[in-house]
C-alpha cells in the first residue's frame, strides 16, 4: 500500500508581483514542510520581503496561488487573515509599538481582537508574561516600555511574540516567518533564537528564515530556496550544498576572491584620533587611539559596552566623562551634540536605519543630497540636474539598486537602503567615520564591495574608521586592529595576524569568562 504523503504546510505557486516597472517577483514557487526550517536567500532586492509581504496580506500579487495544508486560500489575504491561517511574522522592523509596554506588545493580537482592554486582568497577564519569558530563559520586564528596551531585547520580544502566536495554533504547528531576525542580535542572542527556532520546529511548526548570513543559514535550515532578480533559482537541501554553491546561486557567478586580507600593524603611524577617559552607561574610563588610515573594530558580547562607543563619540548618547582629540582638535564629550560632531568632521552610521533621519516618502536623491546640499547651491537656487547626476553615480559606486535617484527611498529594499546610507555619509568625507554594524542586511556580494570602498576611502583620504560590530567575520575582513570589550572596559587588542574571526570569538568569550570570574576590573 502506498504511504500517504502529508501536503506541505504552506505552498506558494507561480507568484508574481510588480511595482510600476519593477518586477519584484516572477513566477516563484515555494513549499514549507511541517517541522522544517526553510531558508530564503537572495541578493538585496531579489524579492524576499515582497514574498513575505504577500503572505502577510500586505501586498496584492499580480498572479499566484497559496495552499495551506493542501487547501487553496484566496489571494490577496485580508488584513489579519494570516493569523487564522496559523502564520506569524517577525518583519525587519520588528513591528513593535514603542509607546506601549512589553506586555501590551506581547498581547497586541488579543488586544486588537474582540476582547476589550477593560476585560483583561493585567495582574494575571503580567504573571503570564513573566512565566512566558522565563520559559524562554529571558529576563525582560513586562511592565517596561518598549522604547526603554535594548535592541537585542526588542528583537527577542518580537520573536517570542511570534512563537507564542503559533503555539496557540493547532498544537504549535503554524508557520513562523522570520525576515532577517538576526541583524540586531549579537552571537548569544542568535543562540537563544536558534534554540527557540529548533524547539518550534520540533513541535511541528514550519519556519521560513530569511538571512544574508550564510553561516547562520547553513547552521539552522534544512532546505533553502534561492531567488535572483525576482525569479526562483532553485530549492536545495542545506546539508548537500556547499557554501560556494550557495554563493553562486545567490549572485549568479562566483564571488571574486578578496585576496588574502593583510592586517598591517598601523600602530607605528601618527596618531590621528585619541579617546580619553570615556564613560557612558556601560563603558567606564575607556581610552584608545587610532592611527592615520587605520580601521579599528570594537567588539565584545552583549552588554560589554562596545556598542555604545560610536554613539558617545557622536554625542548621540550622553557621555558621563571623556575627551576626544581629532587631529589636534579637542572635544569635551560630555557636552558634544550631533550637530557639532558633524561640523567637526565626524559621521555616524547607526545600526538602526530608521534613526538616521532618512525620509521614506522622499526620493533617494533628496535623502542622499541632504548632507551636502550646500555643494549644489549656486547662490540663487539648487542645481537639481547636477544633484541628480551625481547622486546617480554615487548610487552606482555603492551598487544601490535600482539605480534610480527619483525612486522613493522607502521603495528600496532593506539592504539597498543600507548601501544608500553608507553612500550618503561617505560623500561628506568625514575625518572620523563611526559605523555600527555597517553591513547588516547587505548581501554577500555587496558586502565585499562595501569593504573595498571603505578601504579605498581610508587609504586615499586618510579617514579614520571605527566599526562597532558583533559580526566577527566582518571585523576580520575589514579591520586593521580589533578592540575587544568586557564589562565596559577594554579587555584585549588584536592586531596584525591576530585579527582573525577565531581569535576575535575566542577573546570575546574570554572577556566574558574573565568577567564571570571577576578578573575584568
Ligand atoms: N513598495 C514598493 N514600491 C516600489 N518598489 C518596491 C516596493 N517594494 C519593493 N520594491 C522593489 O521590489 C524589489 C524587491 O524588493 P524586496 O524588498 O522584496 O527585496 P529583498 O530581497 O527583500 O531585499 P533585501 O535583502 O535588501 O531586504 C526591489 O527592486 C525593490 O526596490
Under the banding of pLDDT at 50, 70 and 90, the label for residue 167 is: confident
- Answer whether residue 2 is part of any domain: no
Q: Tell me the C-alpha distance between 396 and 66, whole Å.
A: 37
Residue with cell 582638535: 329
- In a shared domain, residues 190 and 247: yes
Give the model's pLDDT for residue 93: 77
- In a shared domain, residues 86 and 55: yes
Residues of the chain above pLDDT 90, percent: 50
- Answer whether residue 314 is part of any domain: yes
Residue whose CA lies nearest to ligand 1 atom number 5:
411
Q: Which atom of ligand 1 is nearest to the CA of 92?
A: 27
Q: Tell me the C-alpha distance between 469 and 190, whole Å.
A: 14
Query: Quick check: 456 pLDDT over 50?
Result: yes
Query: Quick check: 257 pLDDT over 60?
Result: no
- In a shared domain, residues 242 and 283: no
- In a shared domain, residues 242 and 168: yes
Which of 372, 401, 428 terminates a domain? The answer is: 428
Ligand 1-lining residues (CB < 6 angstroms): 19, 22, 24, 42, 44-50, 402, 411-416, 441
- Answer whether residue 5 is part of any domain: no
Give the model's pLDDT for residue 521: 44
Q: Tell me the C-alpha distance between 413 and 44, whole Å.
A: 6
Convert 314-358 into a string of H (helix), E (strand) and C (coil): HCCCCCCEEEEEECCEEEECCCCCHHHHHHCCEEEECCCHHHHCC
Q: Which atom of ligand 1 is nearest to the CA of 416?
A: 26
- In a shared domain, residues 52 and 141: yes
Q: Which atom of ligand 1 is nearest to the CA of 417?
A: 26
Q: How far is the CA of 460 from the centre of ligand 1 (A)?
A: 33
Point out the least confidently predicted range of 28-42, 175-189, 239-253: 175-189
DSSP state of 373: G
Which has the higher per-residue pLDDT, 186 or 32?
A: 32
- Answer whether residue 350 is part of any domain: no
**What is 454-511 written as a DSSP string?**
HHHHHHHH--EEEEE-S-HHHHHHH-SEEEEEETTEEEEEEEGGG-SHHHHHHHHHHH
Query: Quick check: 117 pLDDT over 80?
Result: no
Q: Tell me the C-alpha distance between 132 and 144, whole Å.
A: 15
Q: How far is the CA of 282 from the centre of ligand 1 (A)?
A: 37
Residue 307 main-chain phi, psi, to 5 deg: -70, -20
Q: Is the Cβ–Cβ distance between 148 and 142 less than 8 Å?
A: no
- In a shared domain, residues 81 and 170: yes
**CATH (domain of 466):** 3.40.50.300
Convert the pLDDT of each residue in 347-396 to its tens digit: 999 877 666 668 888 999 999 998 888 888 888 888 999 999 999 999 99
Under the banding of pLDDT at 50, 70 and 90, the label for residue 256 is: low
Under the banding of pLDDT at 50, 70 and 90, the label for residue 480 is: very high
- In a shared domain, residues 237 and 384: no
- Answer whether residue 256 is part of any domain: no
Q: Which residues pair with 90 in a beta bridge?
A: 178
Residue whose CA lies nearest to ligand 1 atom number 6:
411
Mean pLDDT of the chain: 87
Which of 391, 409, 428 terminates a domain? The answer is: 428
* Mutational pocket test of ligand 1: of 21, 40, 183, 413, the residue with most ligand atoms within 8 Å of the beta carbon: 413
Residue whose CA lies nearest to ligand 1 atom number 27:
414
Q: Which atom of ligand 1 is nearest to the CA of 212?
A: 25
Which string of b and e fits 16-41 if b means at least 16 CB within 10 Å? bbeeeebbbbbebebbbbbbbbbbbb
Residue 217: CB atoms within 10 A of its CB come to: 20
- In a shared domain, residues 339 and 473: yes
Query: Quick check: 68 pLDDT over 70?
Result: yes
* Residue 459 structural domain: 270-345+432-520
- In a shared domain, residues 203 and 290: no
- Answer whether residue 352 is part of any domain: no
Under the banding of pLDDT at 50, 70 and 90, the label for residue 306 is: very high
Q: Which atom of ligand 1 is nearest to the CA of 227?
A: 21
- In a shared domain, residues 280 and 419: no
Under the banding of pLDDT at 50, 70 and 90, the label for residue 464 is: very high
Q: Which of helix, strand or coil describes residue 38?
A: strand
- In a shared domain, residues 238 and 327: no
- Answer whether residue 262 is part of any domain: no
Give Cα 101 to chain centroid, integer Å. 23
Q: Which three cell numbers stand for residue 272?
A: 590621528
Residue whose CA lies nearest to ligand 1 atom number 9:
411
Q: How far is the CA of 24 from the centre of ligand 1 (A)?
A: 6
Residue whose CA lies nearest to ligand 1 atom number 19:
45
Q: Which three cell numbers stand for residue 114?
A: 474582540
- Answer whether residue 422 is part of any domain: yes
Q: Name residues whose C-beta falls within 8 Å of residue 196's C-beta, 6 or more positions apart in sequence.
A: 136, 159, 160, 163
* Mutational pocket test of ligand 1: of 20, 39, 43, 49, the residue with most ligand atoms within 8 Å of the beta carbon: 49
Query: Could you tell me the pTM of the whole model?
Result: 0.76
Convert the pLDDT of each residue in 403-449 to its tens digit: 999 999 989 987 888 889 889 998 888 999 999 988 887 888 888 88
- In a shared domain, residues 163 and 226: yes
Residue whose CA lies nearest to ligand 1 atom number 29:
45
Structural domain total, the chain: 3
Q: Which of helix, strand or coil describes residue 103?
A: helix
Q: How far is the CA of 211 from the centre of ligand 1 (A)?
A: 15
Which of 378, 398, 428 terminates a domain? The answer is: 428
Give the model's pLDDT for residue 154: 86
Q: How far is the CA of 253 from the centre of ligand 1 (A)?
A: 22
Q: Which residues pair with 466 in a beta bridge?
A: 296, 434
Q: How far is the CA of 180 from the centre of ligand 1 (A)?
A: 14
Amino acid at each position: 500500500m502506498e504511504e500517504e504523503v502529508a501536503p506541505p504546510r504552506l505552498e506558494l505557486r507561480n507568484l508574481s508581483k510588480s511595482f510600476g516597472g519593477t518586477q519584484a517577483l516572477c513566477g516563484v514557487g515555494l513549499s514549507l514542510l511541517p517541522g522544517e526550517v526553510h531558508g530564503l536567500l537572495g541578493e538585496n532586492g531579489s524579492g524576499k520581503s515582497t514574498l513575505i509581504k504577500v503572505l502577510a496580506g500586505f501586498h496584492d500579487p499580480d498572479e499566484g496561488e497559496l495552499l495551506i495544508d493542501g487547501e487553496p486560500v484566496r489571494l490577496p489575504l485580508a488584513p489579519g487573515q494570516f493569523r487564522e491561517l496559523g502564520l506569524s511574522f517577525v518583519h525587519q522592523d520588528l513591528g513593535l509599538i514603542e509607546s506601549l509596554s512589553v506586555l501590551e506588545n506581547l498581547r497586541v493580537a488579543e488586544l486588537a481582537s474582540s476582547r476589550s482592554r477593560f476585560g483583561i486582568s493585567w495582574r494575571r497577564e503580567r504573571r503570564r508574561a513573566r512565566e512566558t519569558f522565563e520559559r524562554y530563559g529571558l529576563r525582560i520586564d513586562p511592565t517596561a516600555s518598549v522604547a526603554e528596551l535594548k535592541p537585542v531585547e526588542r528583537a527577542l520580544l518580537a520573536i517570542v511574540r511570534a512563537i507564542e502566536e503559533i503555539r496557540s495554533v493547532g498544537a504549535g504547528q503554524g508557520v513562523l516567518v522570520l525576515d532577517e531576525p538576526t541583524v540586531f542580535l549579537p552571537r548569544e542572542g542568535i543562540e537563544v533564537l536558534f534554540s527557540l527556532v529548533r524547539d518550534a520546529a520540533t513541535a511541528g511548526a514550519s519556519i521560513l528564515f530569511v538571512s544574508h548570513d550564510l553561516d547562520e543559514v547553513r547552521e539552522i535550515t534544512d532546505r533553502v530556496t534561492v531567488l535572483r532578480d525576482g525569479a526562483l533559482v532553485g530549492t536545495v537541501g542545506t546539508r548537500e550544498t556547499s557554501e560556494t554553491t550557495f554563493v553562486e546561486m545567490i549572485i549568479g557567478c562566483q564571488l571574486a576572491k578578496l585576496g588574502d586580507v593583510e592586517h598591517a600593524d598601523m600602530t607605528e603611524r601618527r596618531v590621528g584620533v585619541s579617546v580619553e577617559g570615556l564613560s557612558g552607561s556601560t563603558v567606564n574610563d575607556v581610552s584608545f587611539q587610532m592611527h592615520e588610515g587605520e580601521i579599528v573594530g570594537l567588539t565584545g558580547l552583549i552588554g560589554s559596552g562596545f556598542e555604545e562607543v560610536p554613539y558617545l563619540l557622536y554625542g548621540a548618547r550622553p557621555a558621563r566623562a571623556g575627551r576626544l582629540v581629532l587631529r589636534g582638535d579637542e572635544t569635551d564629550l560630555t557636552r558634544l551634540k550631533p550637530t557639532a560632531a558633524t561640523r567637526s568632521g565626524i559621521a555616524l552610521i547607526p545600526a538602526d536605519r530608521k534613526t538616521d533621519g532618512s525620509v521614506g516618502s522622499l526620493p533617494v536623491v533628496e535623502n542622499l543630497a541632504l548632507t551636502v546640499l550646500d555643494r549644489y547651491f549656486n547662490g540663487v537656487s539648487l542645481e537639481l540636474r547636477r544633484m541628480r547626476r551625481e547622486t546617480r553615480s554615487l548610487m552606482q559606486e555603492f551598487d544601490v539598486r535600482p539605480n534610480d535617484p527619483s525612486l522613493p527611498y522607502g521603495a528600496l529594499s532593506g539592504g539597498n537602503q543600507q548601501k544608500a546610507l553608507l553612500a550618503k555619509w561617505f560623500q561628506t568625507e568625514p575625518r572620523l567615520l563611526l559605523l555600527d554594524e555597517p553591513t547588516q542586511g547587505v548581501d554577500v556580494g555587496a558586502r565585499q564591495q562595501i569593504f573595498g570602498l571603505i578601504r579605498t576611502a581610508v587609504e586615499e583620504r586618510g579617514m579614520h574608521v571605527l566599526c562597532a560590530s558583533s559580526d566577527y567575520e566582518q571585523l576580520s575582513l575589514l579591520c586593521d586592529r580589533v578592540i575587544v570589550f568586557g564589562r565596559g572596559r577594554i579587555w584585549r587588542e588584536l592586531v596584525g595576524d591576530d585579527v582573525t574571526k577565531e581569535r576575535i570569538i575566542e577573546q570575546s568569550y574570554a572577556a566574558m569568562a574573565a568577567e564571570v570570574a571577576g578578573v575584568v576590573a
